């Protein structure tokens, strides 16, 4: 039985709109249409695809305010951050329009053959199971390389952002892409396995929780279908004793509060030597306290509501359990008396193993400060996590910072003296329980192609 898909404004709890979930038969029909579209889309030239992808970027920029407002209403993103997200989507469209042909050009390899080479051919229909936290960016960072590679795409978006899901399909339609090259399925999680099992679906990409990743990997693996999984993270930010504290604190606060702290690569664990701990805590708390929480549609809002009330309540339970286990609250840590799903900028210190703030991902604006004696202990603590998505190190010794980032920290993305972020030009993804495979850059576009050897005797 299908269930209605409901969009609820987390700022005031009001229902925005309710959508009808398509039946399994309707979903199967759409998948057939997307597969049929693949037959002709795969034969288009890179030039044709690039022209359409640049048109998609133009559509995004022309409707930036509309899309930013939609994100603010459906999941609480401050409108300034929403505009930046739309611009980043336009950037990734233009990046792959420019770069895809070069990334996927034939690679000649000298062998005993008259000619031998590697070619990169599209796979077919790729299913994207995407989260609500960056409702436009997460989709476009899959769709831009995927469509430029010659695949067609089907989107199963998070159920709390159906308006964003439909708007993204409309972007490609308005840009002039052939019908059914990219489609949205407004379905709940119970239909995902059935979609993966459809014979026309060749691969799956998921961004979401580790639990969701395991479920998708289990179904896809049983069918030998390729997957890319970008899952949770508990990113450590390692502050070395010689760090520029003002720079480090600015980056740490930005990294913790971006998107209301609801990001897999948000800064989450702040590992600080005891020698500089008092100064770090003082500056960190002051800057967190200065951030304004409020209506995401207001231009001066730094922190909107959490995306849903249940997510906010789960976060608070983690905070309370950490305090009960010995963590100390330096700021916030209380649910405000407000009808929205708000949670204030919060800081915990004296965080240690065995506390949720140490062991689990805190998906919201709560910072966990972990005191350590020295750099070696700090590196051990940074790596003492089931996750391995992003990490950062702060030091005035750039050679030392590069060494720690490149060789000592266990993560897919390691930054020096700034907060972790994704960039269309760089591969993005994690290790351990943060998933596998890569998005973006030249490595991302090659995840969903047939890397084919051709040997001419």
Alpha helices per DSSP H over 325-397: 356-359, 375-383
Percent of the chain with pLDDT over 70: 100
Distance of alpha carbon 368 from alpha carbon 128, whole angstroms:
32
How would you classify the pairing of strands 115-122 and 328-331? unpaired
pLDDT the model gives residue 4: 87
Q: Which residues of 135-156 are buried (b: 16+ CB within 10 A; e: fewer)?
A: bbbbbbbbbbbbbbbbbbbbbb
Inform me whether the pLDDT recorded for 2 exceeds 90.
no
| Residues 349-401: tens digit of each pLDDT | 999 999 999 999 999 999 999 999 999 999 999 999 999 999 999 999 999 99
Contact 46, 100 (CB under 8 A): yes
| Domains, the chain | 5-231+434-456 (3.40.605.10), 235-428 (3.40.309.10)
Active-site residue, from 73, 94, 230, 375: 230
Q: What confidence tier does 1 reach under pLDDT thresholds 50, 70, 90?
A: low
Tokens of 304: 């909107």
- Given a contact cutoff of 8 angstroms between Cβ atoms, the answer to whether 270 and 285 are in contact is no
CA distances from 425 to 205, 421, 439 (A): 19, 12, 10
Q: Where does 298-385 show beta strands of DSSP type E? A: 328-331, 346-349, 366-372
Closest CA to 381 of 233, 263, 232, 237: 237
**CA 244 to each of CA 206, 241, 269, 380: distance values in angstroms, whole numbers, following the listed order:** 37, 9, 18, 22
Task: Give phi and psi for 134, each to the nearest 5.
Answer: -125, 80
Instruction: Please identify which of the residues 93, 252, 264, 414 carries the catalytic annotation.
Output: 264
Mean pLDDT in residue range 409-430: 98
Our answer to whether residue 264 is catalytic in this structure is: yes
Contact between 31 and 154 (Cβ < 8 Å): yes
What residues does 347 pair with on adjacent strands? 331, 367
* pLDDT greater than 90 at residue 3: no
CA angle, corner 74, sides to 71 and 80, nearest 5?
A: 30
252 catalytic per annotation: no
Give, rounded to a whole angstrom, the gap between the first and last alpha carbons of the chain.
56
pLDDT tens column, 15-51? 999 999 999 999 999 999 999 999 999 999 999 999 9
Q: Is the dihedral of CA 250, 253, 255, 259 positive or negative?
A: negative
Under DSSP, the state recorded for 426 is S
């Amino acid at each position: 039985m299908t269930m209605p898909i409901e969009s609820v404004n987390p700022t005031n709890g009001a229902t925005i709109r309710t959508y009808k979930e398509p039946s399994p038969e309707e979903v199967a029909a759409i998948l057939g249409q997307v597969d049929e579209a693949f037959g002709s889309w795969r034969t288009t030239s890179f030039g044709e695809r690039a022209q359409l992808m640049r048109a998609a970027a133009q559509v995004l920029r022309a409707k930036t305010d509309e899309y930013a407002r939609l994100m603010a209403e459906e999941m609480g993103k401050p409108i300034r951050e929403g505009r930046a997200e739309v611009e980043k989507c336009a950037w990734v469209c233009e990046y792959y329009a420019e770069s895809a042909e070069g990334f996927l050009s034939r690679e000649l390899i000298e062998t005993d053959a008259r000619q031998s080479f590697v070619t990169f051919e599209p796979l077919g229909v790729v299913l994207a199971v995407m989260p609500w936290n960056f409702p436009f960016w997460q989709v476009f960072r899959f769709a831009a390389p995927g469509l430029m590679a010659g695949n067609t795409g089907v989107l199963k978006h998070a159920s709390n952002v159906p308006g964003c899901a439909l708007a993204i399909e409309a972007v490609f339609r308005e840009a002039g892409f052939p019908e059914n090259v990219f489609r949205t399925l407004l379905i709940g999680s119970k239909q995902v396995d059935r979609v993966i099992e459809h014979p026309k679906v060749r691969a799956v990409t998921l961004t979401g929780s580790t639990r969701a990743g395991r479920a998708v990997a289990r179904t896809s693996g049983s069918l030998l279908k390729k997957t890319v999984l970008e899952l949770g993270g508990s990113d450590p930010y390692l502050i070395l004793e010689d760090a520029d504290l003002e720079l480090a604190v600015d980056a740490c606060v930005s990294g913790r509060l971006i998107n209301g702290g609801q990001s897999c690569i948000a800064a989450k664990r702040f590992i600080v030597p005891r020698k500089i701990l008092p100064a770090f805590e003082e500056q960190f708390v002051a800057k967190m306290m200065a951030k304004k929480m409020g209506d995401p549609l207001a231009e001066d809002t730094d922190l909107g509501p959490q995306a849903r009330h249940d997510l906010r309540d789960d976060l608070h339970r983690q905070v309370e359990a950490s305090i009960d286990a010995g963590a100390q609250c330096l700021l916030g840590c209380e649910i405000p008396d407000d009808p929205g799903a708000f949670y204030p900028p919060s800081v915990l210190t004296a965080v240690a193993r065995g506390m949720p703030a140490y062991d689990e991902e805190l998906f919201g604006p709560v910072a966990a400060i972990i005191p350590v004696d020295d750099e070696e202990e700090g590196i051990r603590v940074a790596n003492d996590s089931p996750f391995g998505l992003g990490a950062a190190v702060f030091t005035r010794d750039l050679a030392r910072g590069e060494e720690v980032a490149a060789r000592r920290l266990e993560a897919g993305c390691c930054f020096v003296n700034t907060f972790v972020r994704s960039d269309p030009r760089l591969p993005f993804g994690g290790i351990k329980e943060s998933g596998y495979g890569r998005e973006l850059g030249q490595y991302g576009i090659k995840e969903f192609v047939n890397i084919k050897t051709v040997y001419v005797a």
